[in-house]
Structure 1
Amino acid sequence: MIEVRLHDIGEGMTEGEIISYLVKEGDPVTVDQPLVEVQTEKMVAELTSPANGTIKEILIDTGRTITVGTTILTIASEQSKGGVSSSQTKEEVATTVEAPQAQKPMNMERPKTGPLSKRVKAAPYTRKVAREHNVDITLVEGTGRAGRITVEDVLRHVEERDRGRVKTESAEIAVLEPNPVQESQEPLDVIPFKGRRKQISKKMTQSFFTIPHVCHYEEIDMTDLIQFRKELHEMDEHISVAAFFVKALAIALKEYPVFNAELDEENEVIRLEKAVHMGIAADTEEGLIVPVVRDVDKKSLRAIHQEMKELTQKAKENKLTIREITGSTFTISNVGPMGSIGATPIINYPETGLMAFHKTKKMPVVNEHDEIVIRSIMNVTMTFDHRVADGGEAIRFTNRFKSLIENPKRLILELA
């Protein structure tokens, strides 16, 4: 007998939620065949079969959250079906498989018996909405791209399913409570606090209560960079502003490596990272996630722009791999396009620093000739770990970044 268990797939994961099963009891399976979808802190992962055999028993219901090491299901391997000795058949072989944790839904609409339904394309949040409304998501018709099921599809299914029942319930209420003055207590709306939302909470709490956060604020004149990007656009070169931010930070971090570091309190050392792996905070339907662009200090602006674009899209589609969301040494948060004018961001633990870019807006500025001119000004926030660095160092680091952004042609010379 082979036990498929939840395994820590990275960054000290301790639990995960079972999203859906791709097999049922009695199904034959082959090596590497997907068995179950699990929600980890940052992604949905598929657990695959470690051997050929037959699904013997599914032990955990969908919707449940379980801890690492918990057995999710068992497989009767082909070897155990053959002519093995009695001592071999009694021996139970445990195989640990990479997986997140799970917990059990209540009174789901899903049929308890019958053949396995087709594999469903739906985001974890959509699946969560389906579970909250006791909907078997395999019965929902998807109207999204490539048949993907959306939240709207689930709610439409619920409305169609419950239309008759709602009318009946309304009539019953009228009979039982004829007094129209009497107020009814409607249940409060709730949002499940689990999955990625719960994991974000744990990480933010760890960072906030471990790191003494200090925020340094600065204004950066974006006028020349905006003009430079227009010139590049005319040359059919489309480089995002964020790509310039990343490259300028890579240069500054090489000169001020204390902000590209990790504090090891146990061994009483500050580990200065050699490579610069930039975390890009992304706002998605499922919550905050930080894909990582690796070795930005060695990549061109064009390469950084393209990789950021691809990772951001994968983050929105919940398709990031473990490697693509781990190993960052510094993080940026580009919230300006959403309208932010300032914030005090929490550091992406165990990093030392995070820089946030806020809204760029035109405003009157007095230049070096005492003339009032209109310039495009952006606010930035540099948050750093005061155990590792001091304010003066943070100001010098930010000033170096500022000089590169305000003089984009100088930034290009730094790349030579």
Structure 2
Amino acid sequence: MARVMVVGAGGVGRVVAHKLAALEEFEEILLTSRTVERCNQIAESISSRHVQTAQVDADDVSQTVALLKSFRPDVLVNVALPYQDLALMDACLNAGVHYLDTANYEPPDNPKFEYSWQWAYQDRFYDAGLTAILGCGFDPGVTGIFTAHALKHHFDEIHELDIVDCNAGSHGRAFATNFNPEINIREITQPGRYFEKGEWITVPPLSIHRPVDYPHIGDRESYLLYHEELESLVKHIPTLKRARFWMTFSQSYINYLQVLETLGLTRIDPIDYEGTPVVPLKMLKKLLPDPASLAATYTGQTSIGCHIRGIKDGQEKTYYIYNNCDHAAAYQEVGAQAISYTTGVPAALGALMVANGTWQKPGVFNVEQLDPDPFLAKLGDMGLPWHEVIGQPSPFEAI
């Protein structure tokens, strides 16, 4: 029997807590956040078992260490802000606890999405005999596991990878983000970036787009973004010749975003407001709907997957692996929308893989470096069934 501590009580934290509570392998669960009232609300929504709660400032390493040493978890699941990744990794090293997160570290004053800061912890975790799993949500996360599965079972070499992320849901709000508005907008407004023929190519934000046909959804306009799993997949799958990431946005969403940018409300540098420094994006975050509040009225589906082209037994092969998730079904089960659900379920399952020893080995790892089979064997039962299509023409063949 294992013990687990979760840091973060937003929509994803809610899903993680519910899914961990459904796993008999975890003897005790501690849900923590800067705001303990949010933890208590989630704990009260779980009728199957008792979930403990506590207040913690994830930026304060000493405070987190004290809580870890008091509760003595086997693994810490970080679903707080990516700004806090390094502080929580430091705390785990100090307290002797395995670590898992869903998004890579990002400096608060510089919107750089890269793994360099966390990969630098490799020797420290290895020497301590501890495991750190990076990016175990859906994208990053399951998309990397899908790719590892494809390489293990369907390809000798993977040459082309297009990760596609569609949210075809409707929440009835004029403009809202599906996860933390500050993080979401920082990500979307950055230049697009993709890997081709050994080089990283940078393009203006949202400048490359095309319709993509998603299962049970149909054509949706999909925009090329830079997404963090591209960096790790290119590093760990050296045969890749091209790797790209695509995400859907409605024209209305794009229009709102462009207006916000024009007005300067997406800036992350402080401005002076009557003698008080104010970061416009942080103010905007306060004005936009809490993503968790969207769940009750959300309808429609998400569809996330990987279109892959490569070589098997000397022959070219195409392969598509994906999951569709229903917003209303996610809300009915755990009180969250599908974006939170598709991130939280893999994080809970990843924690199980670490706690039961399946993914437990010293060092810092991205999920594609680990055995995909035991994870995917349980993913469907945990609520995210996956499907594969072999030999179908890729929607990206012509570009």
Q: What TM-score, normalized by structure 1, do the two folds share?
A: 0.28
Q: What TM-score, normalized by structure 2, do the two folds share?
A: 0.29
Of the two structures, which has the highest relative contact order with CA contacts closer than 8 Å and spacing of 6 or more? Answer: 2
